[in-house]
Amino acid sequence: MDDTQNNETAREELILVNVVESLVRVKTREMIKTFDMCQCDQCYFDACAIALNHTKPLYITTHKGQLLSKLTTINYGYQAVQMVEIMKALEKVKGNPKHK
């Protein structure tokens, strides 16, 4: 395989990811269980959307399959900010769910 083919293969394996979105999705799924509230997809996605609208995105490039390791290396201070926004979002959705 020549260098051109190697470069193409490497590019195919690389992905562009907003790690904040990935972190918010994972943490919201975990945290919604600790709130006395509905855990349906509507409430989950509403909470994710609210939290993401109040956070700054953080895009990285990574190889497929390595996202989890990237999430664990995010600065703890940065994660704390996301957790606060997720808690606020969960409280908001809990107080005013879009469904009956």
**E strand or H helix at 71:** helix 67-72
pLDDT tens for 52-90 read 999 999 888 888 776 656 666 666 667 788 899 999 999
Buried/exposed 1-26: b ≥16 CB within 10 Å, e otherwise: eeeeeeeeeeeeeeeebebbbbbbbe
pLDDT tens for 13-39 read 888 889 889 889 999 999 999 999 999
Alpha carbons within 13 angstroms on the beta-carbon side of residue 77 total 0
